[in-house]
A and B are shown apart, each in its own frame.
Chain A
């Protein structure tokens, strides 16, 4: 038995216990707000890349149908307009500074300690309802490894998302907040960044990576009514290949992209919405089937509510 086999057997043993249970829940909750549109039904994901960069019918990427997670995806295009999106976390409308005590109106102070998430499968939306799949690229235009971007609030270089697109005017974008099933499987030890252990986004088992992790400290000493504070200190959002998928985010806003030029925009991320999602009500049966730890349950609450929340917005 090899290392891979050994680890896989341990992981699969865990997954064998967890996945069927979660799968059962998923089957029982077909209308669950967290289930990806068209999950398991052969959506546009494969067609998006296979189609050579053409438009799709506007459906979001279907992570469940992803067949592979190549380190170096074939570029959809090698030239075009660059869209640079600087992710700016905000809380109560003010910048949410990493590692600093961010004071809220209630006088509660929130200090983020770790804030990371994956972005993949970006599509630009056209006014006619179609969408254009685009590559996440580096500053030099190379496709990001695995076609995945890791936002890490501690790393200034990671807060900018770049995509290479055909010039034109778009009405917004969608993306997967996390990984598709193919990338959400496999062992970090066999991969390269951003899918290695150093991403700090790994679980120790075969039920995937974290899609988003947020850890923070609360100082309620100056708050008038600390008892009403509903801000989780730990949010670990993940999924399960085949049953619990990374959610899709849709952001509306005009995106005029000039040919052979870079258009810079700010993409705000409302951390208050993250907190709200992590505290939101869900079908208790679904929570009963994920690991009984507050960070995991907060993450599952968030995962189920992402599509209902205005997490991201294009700044004017």
Chain B
């Protein structure tokens, strides 16, 4: 019962903080306050948010706040016009509503910008899982020529020219502003993008009113061997952290995980995303090729797009219209409206 107890304690603290915060701002829907005072998702490993940080980059409020400032700063790109938030918009669960994102000089990427939700508990990052920490991840888009196209050293110089940045870094990292601490600060902020206030969270926490009948039916299908969604989207975290060819790959397309491992069996495998706020993070799949959740459900119902590399667990489901509607109701129950408008995540 350790997990349940810690959840209750954490929830109580979070609610207390939220109550104070909302009383202060007079808006009951948009909390303000510390980034570290997150309402943790239900069903995810216990402990505090700070426990998710690696030893070399202990999570503090000051580091997260500094990372937030960087997240919205266009100076991280070569042109000064593209920030992290350009492709990771809060209203879209910190993803991009375009199928693929546009970086500096109008350069177009090749993959859909993933949602940044509950990555504190992630074990690998990017669609192909090429890095194993948020700290390592944070520098990649900055240096990617299709995204921000800026050597980290140049960014450090540009950012460090502003005295307030230099002072802030000196205050939270012994080494002050360096390429490493810049990545660390960004990772600290991303680690605080925590969503735990969806109807699904409340349902798991025991709120009998959180689900309507359709979502409840959808959950049963989601958890059934027939629907088989749970094999990848584990209850609670809604991801198993693995890689899977879910039938979205087509011949000649992005090889996904195979790019990293070189293994034949990894062709078309992509990282299994968590599903919190999935209704807000359209379009879907690694290439953003499915515009709506309805299209996603339809593709799974068909058993994918038919490439032989598709995992054998993907098979035609024979869903009725009602069952599809139930699944959609469940998927929409993963939406945390407070997270999507949370003032703490805004510049």
Contact = CB atoms under 8 A, between A and B. Distances in A.
Given A1-B206, A233-B312, A7 B234 contact: no
Contacts of A5: 4, 206
Contacts of B309: 217
Interface secondary structure of B, over-half rule: loop
B251 to A, nearest CB: 14
Interface stretch (B55-63, B79-87, B258-266, B294-302): B258-266
Given A187-B3, A202-B234, A101 B43 contact: no
B19 to A, nearest CB: 21
B1 A4 contact: yes
A205 interface: yes
A294 B239 CA distance: 23
A2 B309 CA distance: 42
A219 B264 CA distance: 12
B281 to A, nearest CB: 21
Interface string B119-161: 0000100000000000000000000000000000000000000
A234 B312 contact: yes
Q: Counting chain B CB atoms within 10 Å of each CB, which of A1, A99, A202 scores highest?
A: A99
Interface stretch (A44-52, A190-198, A255-263): A190-198
Interface residues of A, number: 38
A191 B42 CA distance: 14
Interface residues of B, number: 42
A246 B237 CA distance: 27
A170 B226 CA distance: 46
A63 interface: no
Contacts of B3: 3-4, 187, 189-190
B319 interface: no
B223 A204 contact: yes
B325 to A, nearest CB: 21
Contacts of B245: 113
A277 interface: no
A112 B261 CA distance: 14
Contact of B265 (A100, A189, A205, A291): A100
A99 B265 contact: yes
B206 A197 contact: no
A295 interface: yes
Given A3-B42, A197-B236, A205-B223, A100 B4 contact: no
B2 A234 contact: no
A7 to B, nearest CB: 6
Nearest to B230: A204
B122 to A, nearest CB: 10
Contacts of A196: 45
Nearest to A14: B223
7 contacts: A98-B265, A99-B263, A99-B265, A111-B265, A114-B242, A215-B313, A233-B312
Interface of A: 1-7, 98-101, 111-114, 187-190, 192, 196-198, 200, 202-205, 215-217, 219, 233-234, 291, 293, 295-296
Interface of B: 1-4, 7-8, 42-46, 123, 203-206, 208, 223, 225-226, 230-231, 234-237, 239-242, 245, 261, 263-266, 269, 308-309, 311-313
